[in-house]
């Protein structure tokens, strides 16, 4: 299974590196780079269930939990 946020669905992206040499010529020798999402393994306490859930979540997902509440967010993401 790929490393992916269980709430937002964020995962890795492929992008190009930028070289100052591009300004001189149209040749870009730097190639591609894989940008990873900021994923953290967190234990989240859900007071409605009186238990702790472990999930791999991005920082944006943690902000979503803080805004909407743990139970509503995890239920919408079908984790609980």
Q: Is residue 31 part of a domain?
A: yes
Number of domains in the chain: 1
Distance (Å) of CA 11 to CA 1, 30, 42? 11, 23, 17
pLDDT at 45 (0 to 100)? 96
CATH assignment at residue 57: 2.30.170.40
**pLDDT at site 6:** 94
Q: Is residue 2 in some structural domain?
A: no
What is the reported pTM?
0.75
Is residue 1 scored above 60 in pLDDT?
no
Q: Domain range for residue 29?
A: 13-76
Secondary structure element (H or E) that encloses residue 64, with its range: helix 59-68
Instruction: Convert the pLDDT of each residue in 17-70 to its tens digit.
Output: 776 666 656 665 667 889 999 999 999 999 999 999 999 999 999 999 999 999
Confidence of residue 2 (pLDDT cuts 50, 70, 90): confident
Strands of 1-80 (E only): list them: 13-16, 32-35, 39-46, 51-58
């Amino acid at each position: 299974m790929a490393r992916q946020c269980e709430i937002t669905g964020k995962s890795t992206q492929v992008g190009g590196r930028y070289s100052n040499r591009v300004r001189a010529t149209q040749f870009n020798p730097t190639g591609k780079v894989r940008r990873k999402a900021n994923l953290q393994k967190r234990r989240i306490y859900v007071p409605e269930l009186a238990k702790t859930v472990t999930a791999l979540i991005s920082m944006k997902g943690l902000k979503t939990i803080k805004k909407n509440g743990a139970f509503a967010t995890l239920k919408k993401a079908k984790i609980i």
